Amino acid sequence: MEKRKELYSGKAKSVFTTDDDNLMVLSFRDDTSAFDGKKVEQLARKGAVNNQFNAFIMEKLAAAGIPTHFVRRLSSNESLVKRLSMIPVECVVRNIAAGSLCRRLGVEEGLALNPPTFEMFLKNDALGDPMINEYHVRSFGWAEPGQIEQMKVLTFKVNDILKQLFLDGGMLLVDYKLEFGVADGEILLGDEFSPDGCRLWDAETREKMDKDRFRQGLGGVVEAYEQVGQRLGMTFEY
Ligand code: ADP
Ligand code: UDP
C-alpha cells in the first residue's frame, strides 16, 4: 500500500489517498481544537495516542460485531481505513448530562440519564454544528430512513460495548460522538473513537479524563488520555 496525495486536512487529522481507490490513510496530528475550531493548540504525543487508542477501540467494536472502516494501524500516528462517503451527521449518545445538553436544557452536569439519550448534529463548523432531527436528515437527503435507523441502532450498540469496557477500567462513559459513512451501499462506523470525541470520568472521583481538560484549560490533557488507555491495558509507542 502506497500513500499518495492529501485529500483533506481537518482540525485534527489529515486524509490521504492510496494506490487503492477504496482505501485511505488517516493521519492523526497533534493539533487539538475546541469550540468549532476557535481554540487550537498543539499537544505533543496527542496524534499518536489518539491513533493507537482509536485502533484499540475499533478492533474491540469490530470483534463485537460493529461494522467499521478500520483496516489496520500503519504507524504510531497513521491508520489505514476503507474510504467512505461520509454522512454529515454526528450521532451522540449521552449516559450522563454534560456539555451542550446542560447549556441547552439547564440541567446540572452529572445527572444520570435513564434511558440514555440520542441526538444528532449537522457536521458544519461554520454553523456551529447545529442540532438536527431525523426529519431534517431525510428532508435534506443527508441519509435515508433505513440508514438513520441503522446509525441509531449501531450508536446504542457501541454504548453497550464501551460503557462496560470503560467501567471495567474504573471509568464512566458520559457521552460520545460517532460518524458514519457508506461503502458499497453499507453503513460503516467511520472517523475515530478517542478521548477527543467522548467524555470519560473517573468512576470514583469523577475527575475528567477527556477533551474537557482542554476545553476547560485544566491541563494534563494527553497525560489523561494516556491514563485512560493504560487503564484499558494499552501501551503506547511514539
Ligand atoms: P474535522 O473534519 O471535523 O475537522 P478531522 O480533523 O478529524 O475532523 O478530519 C477527518 C475527516 O475525515 C473528517 O471530516 C471525517 O468525517 C473524515 N473521515 C473519517 N473517516 C473517513 C473515511 N473512512 N472516509 C472518508 N472520510 C473520512
Ligand atoms: N463532540 C465531538 N465533536 C463535535 C461535537 C461534540 O466529538 O463536534 C463530542 C464531545 O466530545 C462529547 C459529545 O460529542 O463527548 C457531546 O458533545 P456536546 O454536544 O456536549 O458538545 P460540547 O459541549 O462538547 O461542544
Q: Give the ligand 1 atom nearest the CA of 10.
A: 6
87 lines ligand 2 (CB under 6 A): no
What does the DSSP assignment read for 160-213? HHHHHHHHHTTEEEEEEEEEEEEETTEEEE-S--STTSEEEEETTT--B-STHH
Nearest to 178 by CA among 203, 197, 202: 197
pLDDT tens-digit readout, 117-165:
999 999 999 999 999 999 999 999 999 999 999 999 999 999 999 999 9
99 lines ligand 2 (CB under 6 A): yes
55 lines ligand 2 (CB under 6 A): no
Give the integer Cα–Cα distance in Å for 86 and 229.
27
Residue 20 binned pLDDT confidence (cut-offs 50, 70, 90): very high
**What sign has the CA pseudo-torsion 147, 152, 153, 158?**
positive
Under DSSP, is residue 75 helix (H, G, I), strand (E, B) or coil? coil
100 lines ligand 2 (CB under 6 A): yes
CA 178 → CA 175, 216, 231, distances in Å?
10, 22, 22
Q: Give the ligand 1 atom nearest the CA of 33.
A: 4
Contact in structure between 183 and 7 (CB atoms under 8 Å): no
176 lines ligand 2 (CB under 6 A): yes
Q: How many angstroms is it from 198 CA to the middle of ligand 2?
A: 7
From the CA of 13, the nearest ligand is 1
pLDDT tens-digit readout, 35-44:
988 999 999 9
Please choose from 8, 15, 77, 80 the residue to mutate so as to test ligand 1's pocket, defined by most ligand atoms within 8 A of CB: 15
User: Which positions ≥6 away from 215 have C-beta within 8 Å?
Assistant: 34, 35, 39
Type of residue at 58:
M
Q: Whole-model pTM?
A: 0.98
**What sign has the CA pseudo-torsion 144, 146, 147, 152?**
positive
Give the integer Cα–Cα distance in Å for 41 and 210.
15
* 14 CB-side CA count, 13 A: 15
Q: How many angstroms is it from 1 CA to the middle of ligand 2?
A: 34
